[in-house]
Structure 1
Amino acid sequence: MKLGVFWRQIGQPMVYYPQIAKVTGGVTAAVFFCHLCQSQSSSNSQEWISITVEQMEAETGLNSSEQELALRQLKARSLLKERIVRGKNGALEFWPDLEALEKRLEDNLITPEDSQASLIQVQDKTPRTIKEDKYFPVRRQAIAVQVTPNYQFSGPWESPAQLNEFQRRLLEYAKIQGYPNPSGWVFKVIDGMTKGLLSPFWDEFVAGIALGESQKVKRDWEIEPGVPYPAFEEERIQYYLSKGEPLEAAVSKARHDLRNPVIGKDLWSGFLRKCDRIADEALAANKMGVQTPYLPSSFTERQEITKETVMQKLAAVNPQFSLEASGSDSLNERILAAEEKAADRKDNKSASDVPPLATLQEMCKTAIGRSLVTKQIAEHPEWGYEIVDGNVVDSIPF
């Protein structure tokens, strides 16, 4: 039998479009939708299509479950409308929405090249599972990092000597400021300059001024950068003292507040208001005849407390006690002197404690005395005695 005759005996073929299958949800939905479109075009495009499950299965080969799946997929994508026909035992009529199909085809139309590229991307994104033996793990290749040989910092400096001098100045500045890791801070500054970041430290270094000098900002409450007005600082110290803080903690907290530009500005504004009120009260007291109106203790001028003034006062009270005596150098000297005195006393004591040779020889005449002398000579070899043939003699007779 020829192939053409064989195909005609089987029946009429059904063809679907692969692009429609992509937007309808699959081949089953595409076959179902295409058959409805062909039926609608052959009859009348303005009427609903009435078809039973048996007719659809006979014409398309789709069984009832496949038809139900196709209906769900098409209705979920708003490509098909259905309604129940009254008086026909629940028969259904369908309306394929060609406009919705065209819109979906325009939005999801993919060329073969794009589909192949997307397939490659999906395959690349899928995680690769590698089976490993817990007793014999797979040795993976080490990650190689390309390193530039003989790497050197490149920046605005003209020579390595100038860079070294700049590093030395930065290191000294970091130590003075009390940074926890001075060398690490220096590396960050220079590394940032090699990456194009501006550094005011380099400008100061080139200009020949102290590092950090141009970065200081004089606030309204400061006589010079970092030095607040004495009355303002004393007022803040008295505040913390009234809170029960020790004097050292009060000074530390007060200066910490005044170094903060935001807190310092608010405190300065309040201090000016307080001074204005005190001035008004003093003027009113003057008008009432008071010659010396009251002013807070913080407004009293005080001598600056320095190490020299404190040392003079302590020396006047007790000449043997001073701040210098508590220094590390003086402490080391006193420790060495004490150790020397202890060593001298030990040598004198050792020389005076050595028993005479005649006494030990007299004690060796008895068995008990001999055993005692033998034990003592073994414990004190510095005496210079030894026992030979039961007699005590000098180990170094000359």
Structure 2
Amino acid sequence: MKIGVFLSDLGKTAIYYPRLAKVTGSVTSCIFFCQLLQWRSRSNNPYDWLRTSVQEIEQETGLNRREQELARKELIERNLLKERLVEQQSNTLEFWLNLEALEEKLHELLHDLKSNTVEENVSNKLEVIQPNPVRKTEQNVPWQRPPIAVKVTPNYQFNGPWKSHEQFAEFQKLLLEYAKEKGFYNPADWVFKIIDGITKGIVSPFWDEFVQGIPLGESQKVKRDWEIEPGIAYPAFEEERIQYYVQKGEPLEVAVSKARSDLRNPVLGKDLWEGFLRKCDRIADEAIKAKKSGIKTPYLPPSFTDKPAITKESVMQKLSAVSPQLSLESSSYQSLAQMNDKEQESPQKKPDSASDVPNIDTLKAVFKTPMGKKLVEKQITEHPEWEYAIVDGELVDLTPF
């Protein structure tokens, strides 16, 4: 058999760098690392994590599972590799190559090799000039770390347009309060980015507002055509969008959230506003035509009717009117718990009149909640004299008359 045909039958070749094995820790880890480097160079986005499997690595390098585990352990200990397991796939892993640490270790390796070469040359010359090994001198070449790409100033401080540390601290405080008010995910990180940008020369309207004494974000508000004030759309326009999502089957609270999110989008909001104006124009033409026909009050969509604003106070008043025990501040569970505690404090007390028996409507309202259901069942069991019962999952009065 010809050697070329024989080698071609063996499949692909795996290449590794022997000198790199000194950095990775072993030949096995070097082969593993070189294979990942090769895959990373072929990736469309080299900054992403590499996803592969144990079987794929074994097919490319010949390393079995045990050898791969040892190689990964050595590379992780040398800070050359990071790994994470893909959920629900025990054999699939994702790897991140720390090329900065690799570059630093390669600098050290090449410097050591260069130093050893210089020492050997110097030693050979000294042996020729001074044959006596006792008088042979050693020349030590001090090692110097390569310069860092980004120089860091000791005791680094932010330098910006602020005139004093107190002014800088007050600006940070207002930025943090603004971020919390807006509901940012990480307020402290957002504040750092704003201040870091100012120190690098980026113009910030927040600093201009701070210097002028204007509330942060006030000068950046833009009033759109469909808003009565920045961030607040016309009620009819907002209600029209809410009804759109309600008709699609969304719950009311979800419909409100989606509608307001759409109207905060300047591009989408503009398109929706133009369509809404066209609809209003058509409705107005039809209303004028109806009035000319003798109709005194033409029909208008529900979104055009005035509705009182829904607030926490208005909702609490309605709940209190339905049942004093139902409110947003105190749950029915707490009310029944207090009732139960009072009855436990005076176990010998029995209802002597109809006024001591709780109203069945109140108990029905509490019975609709999971916790309230358990408490009502317990109360009815302990007080058969109330003559209430649970039939087919509903609370009924055994003596309605």
The TM-score normalised by the length of structure 2 is: 0.48
